[in-house]
Amino acid sequence: MKLKAFLLSSLVAAPLAFANAEITTQDTYARATPPTAVTSAVFGNIHNSGDRARNIVSVSVDAAGKSELHDVIMDGEMMKMRHVDTFVIPANGKLPLKPGGHHIMMFDLKHPLKEGQTLNVTLTFANGEKYQFQAPVKKVMAGMSMNHNMDHGKEMDHGKMDMQH
């Protein structure tokens, strides 16, 4: 009887394990922060080797009190960062997470992010499945196109940005 229960539970769990194997990450990292910063972001690539698109509906990061899916759009001459409900990873494709585009935004950091640390990131998909990966913390060049450590709503020195949530 125990063997039957084990086999049955293995069959039920097998599709989820297979589906999870279709998702991989590459070149992920979180931006290091100065001591007083309360926000940062995670970047990299999320790959989907499956034959159907996958929808990420939420994210959590162990070093942040709150994490959100964000993208950046142009509204006239103003770049606007906004919270979105879903990231879609195309079938047999990838979703790049990069400054000035889709990214994982972290708020209420529990501590400054220092180079050499590693963050645990959990993606939740529309079907309830979760995928976890680690993102090393890295220093990035000061000339990057976005500064996630700025106060929301302030203008940037090299352009305008309106942060919406």
pLDDT in tens, 16-68: 444 467 999 999 999 999 999 999 999 999 999 999 999 999 999 999 999 99
Provide the number of structural domains found in the chain: 1
Q: How far apart are the first and last CA of the chain?
A: 53
Domain region containing 106: 2-164
**For the domain that residue 23 is a member of, what is the CATH number?**
2.60.40.1890
pTM, 2 dp: 0.75
In whole angstroms, give the CA distance from residue 57 to residue 128: 9
Other beta carbons within 10 Å of 110 = 12
Among residues 158, 102, 7, the alpha carbon closest in space to that of 150 is found at 158
Closest among 42, 44, 41 to 24, alpha carbons compared: 44
Confidence grade of residue 152 (pLDDT, cut at 50, 70, 90): very low
